[in-house]
Structure 1
Amino acid sequence: MTTSLTIPSACDFHLHLRQGDMMRMVTPKVAEGGVSLAYIMPNLQPPIKTTDEALAYKKELQALAPNVTFLMTLYLSPELTVEEVRKASKAGIRGVKSYPRGVTTNSESGIESYEVYYPVFKAMEEEGLVLNLHGEIPSDHNNNVCVMNAEEKFLPELEKLHKAFPNLKIVLEHATSQAAVEMVKRLGDTVACSITVHHLQLIVDDWAGQAHHFCKPVAKYPNDRNALREVVASGHPRFFLGTDSAPHPSHAKESAHAHAGVFTTPLVLPYLAKIFEEIGCLDKLENFACHFGKQFYQVTQKDGFETATVTLVKEDNVVVPQQYAIATDPSTQGDLGAVVPFLASKNIGWKIAKNFC
């Protein structure tokens, strides 16, 4: 039985770090979770739509977590031009994130049609930028579309985009369904998929009535979770870690309209060790969390990324904290509230004993 595991530090290819006090609390915890490379989502308020905005945000994050390499993205919107794509490429921006309008946090500026962006996608294809897709369509009850099938209904659009731009690298973000896994496997080597910590653990019963497990896209049926687990256990190189860790104050989660998002940042590798051990593929953890995403994005030392290691150990009683105070100043912690992490107060049985940070 494995009781310790030393692997390279992880690469998280889908992460939300927010702004202000939340950003200042969350960002240092990236390294605490064993992650040394983070691909940052642009859905701030207002969204990050230009190269200059992305670089300014990166500077803030780097000051808070100097041991982490941050890769930045832009928000797909009408303001994104071919010229801005080429400027972004020269500045080291790695991707563009697409949000369907209104389906998740801060997606009010999201898109309603992809065809109008074809010139932008062509420029991205030429420049080597990645298109990151939130793979859902908005609910439409007249046409039997809701949160449980919104991802599956989106998949024809993914296939259409791939056929139109076969050399454009596309990542279907935070997949939740068997249909999504099968689609990505069927498409070519330029199409990949990020998988979260929580979607490897949860099904619909776990978030229905449980606000801190509610995310978008929502966790689906047992067969869908099984498909995610089977593909990571198989070691498929186009499926890799993207936590979609998304912190919200507990009062925003525990409300009549719970905000979507699960917070996993402080314990990414211990969570994964627990899950991979349970499904019998602990030997596949390193490639999934450390190598496959980096290979797809072609991350090198030119990106400022340096190899580091993390040692995980198995212990009988490793309890997840109940909450993390948002304010770093103790005198104001009560005013700003706290974030409840994934599996709060639960024993996950693994911890980081030696970290690169």
Structure 2
Amino acid sequence: MSTDTITLPPAADMHVHLRDGPMMETVVPLIRHGGVNTVFVMPNLLPPITSVSSALAYHQKLTSLSPTTTFLMSLYLSPSITPSVIAEATATGIIQGVKSYPKGLTTNSDAGVVSYEAYYPVFSAMEEHGLVLNLHGESPSSPTTTILNAEETFLPTLVDLHHRFPKLRIVLEHCTTAAAVEVVKSLGPTVAATITAHHLYLTIDHWSDSPHCYCKPVAKLPSDRAALIAAATSGDPKFFLGTDSAPHPKHAKQGAEKVAAGVFTQPYAVQLVAELFDKEGKLDKLQGFVCDYGRVFYQTKDRGLEKESGEKIVLRRGGAKVLREIINGDLVVVPFRAGEETWGLEWVKA
């Protein structure tokens, strides 16, 4: 399938970082610019979102900035998350998942998980109440584990959790390896995975040369990228869009003593994916990946979670150029592929 224009329902991005304060005020209005009207929001703020009340307060702030966006909220897996908190969260209808970070591995993960065994009662409660477990699927660094094999060494943990809690919906977030793709495919229908826009483009060579391509998990080998592209364009509903769009101030990406991990794709999320799918001759698979499969897995329609917008998005080949910088006062953020051409996008009434 090849065409210069394609019309789709609004997309759903099942993994976004919207931050707080001035950064939140900068990036939240850009959600729609990327063709998205439903997002699953990460809880790794400072302090992290570990209570129902803090999740609801955060939801209110986000909604005030973009009233037409559906924000699906999550809690940060920590000792304060108990089975009773899971029941309380479910009753809100707004909190749809719990996010697990390995301790110390990525942005604001110092309060993350060391061992999953202590959380088995929480996972059992999530299974009962229908909340999704979202896994940052990497093992902490060790003498035998580095950023290059951290995802692959985590995969036995994913398999074990699925076997212990077969009815628990689990998302292995931001897959980066062929091994992860194969494991997700091998497990039951309650296990799915998100794939980012930037991992469809990047390999290890890109982030070794550019801090704006550096994220965790890091991009891997060309063979891993090929496996991600094959999964994303396959029409397999186990794989759907979760951009892991993670904005950082320009000064934290360039010239900082320690480079911040995160790639900012949100303003061009669907456009970037469309460009890649077009190059692969798979535009007929685009709607499933960016619009449909994530919603089905999160049961947004069955649970009445989304606002009805009565809108569609229209994509046009080569119709836009990625901004070099996004500036809000003293805050400067550099988007992925800054200055390069990509597909254009506009919203229309259905």
Normalising by structure 1, we get a TM-score of 0.95
Contact 1:96 1:132 in 2 (8 A): yes
| Partner residue, 1:298 | 299
Q: Structure 1 residues 82, 272: CA separation in 2 closer, same or farther (over 3 Å shift)?
A: same
Asked if residue 226 in structure 1 is aligned to residue 251 in structure 2, the reply is no
Distance 1:152 1:303 in 2: 34
Letter in 2 for 1:131: L
Return the offset for 1:318: 2.6
Contact 1:41 1:97 in 2 (8 A): yes
Distance 1:354 1:88 in 2: 33
Letter in 1 for 2:290: A
Look up the SS of the partner of 2:31 in the other structure.
helix
| Partner residue, 1:310 | 313
Distance 2:64 2:331 in 1: 24
Please provide the CA RMSD for this pair: 1.3
For residues 132-163 of structure 1, give each alpha carbon's deviation from its aligned partner in whole angstroms, at most 9, with x where no partner exists: 000001111x2x21000000000000000000
**Counterpart mapping for 1:27-38 below 5 A:** 27-38=28-39
Letter in 1 for 2:294: G
**Which of 122, 132, 135 is residue 133 of structure 1 equivalent to?**
135
Look up the SS of the partner of 1:292 in the other structure.
helix
Contact 1:251 1:337 in 2 (8 A): no
Look up the SS of the partner of 1:87 in the other structure.
helix
Look up the SS of the partner of 1:26 in the other structure.
helix
Which is worse superposed, 229-238 or 195-204?
A: 229-238
Distance 1:7 1:60 in 2: 28
Distance 2:234 2:275 in 1: 17
For residues 204-257 of structure 1, give each alpha carbon's deviation from its aligned partner in whole angstroms, at most 9, with x where no partner exists: 001102100000000000000000111122110010000000000010011231
| Partner residue, 1:59 | 60
Distance 2:308 2:200 in 1: 28
| Partner residue, 2:87 | 86
Look up the SS of the partner of 2:316 in the other structure.
strand
**Counterpart mapping for 1:148-163 below 5 A:** 148-163=148-163
**Counterpart mapping for 1:235-246 below 5 A:** 235-246=235-246
Asked if residue 351 in structure 1 is aligned to residue 329 in structure 2, the reply is no
| Partner residue, 1:330 | none
For residues 171-221 of structure 1, give each alpha carbon's deviation from its aligned partner in whole angstroms, at most 9, with x where no partner exists: 000000000000000000000000000001100001102100000000000
- The ranges of structure 1 where at least 4 consecutive aligned residues each deviate by more than 3 angstroms after the TM superposition are 353-357
**Counterpart mapping for 1:36-47 below 5 A:** 36-47=37-48
Return the offset for 1:355: 4.8
| Partner residue, 2:253 | 253
Return the offset for 1:304: 3.2
Contact 1:312 1:354 in 2 (8 A): no
**Counterpart mapping for 1:255-294 below 5 A:** 255-294=256-295
% same residue: 50
Distance 1:201 1:280 in 2: 16
Distance 1:323 1:59 in 2: 28
Contact 2:38 2:306 in 1 (8 A): no
Distance 2:348 2:84 in 1: 41
Distance 1:353 1:9 in 2: 11
Letter in 2 for 1:228: L
Return the offset for 1:356: 6.3
| Partner residue, 2:335 | 341
**Counterpart mapping for 1:136-215 below 5 A:** 136-140=138-142, 142=143, 144-215=144-215
Return the offset for 1:282: 1.1
Unaligned runs of 5+ in 2: none
Distance 2:208 2:316 in 1: 33
Contact 2:23 2:331 in 1 (8 A): no
Normalising by structure 2, we get a TM-score of 0.96
Contact 2:139 2:150 in 1 (8 A): yes
**Counterpart mapping for 1:68-83 below 5 A:** 68-83=69-84
Return the offset for 1:64: 0.3
Distance 2:346 2:99 in 1: 35
Distance 2:306 2:239 in 1: 24
Asked if residue 123 in structure 1 is aligned to residue 125 in structure 2, the reply is yes
Q: Structure 1 residues 356, 95: CA separation in 2 closer, same or farther (over 3 Å shift)?
A: farther
- State the number of aligned residues: 345
- Higher strand share goes to which structure? 2
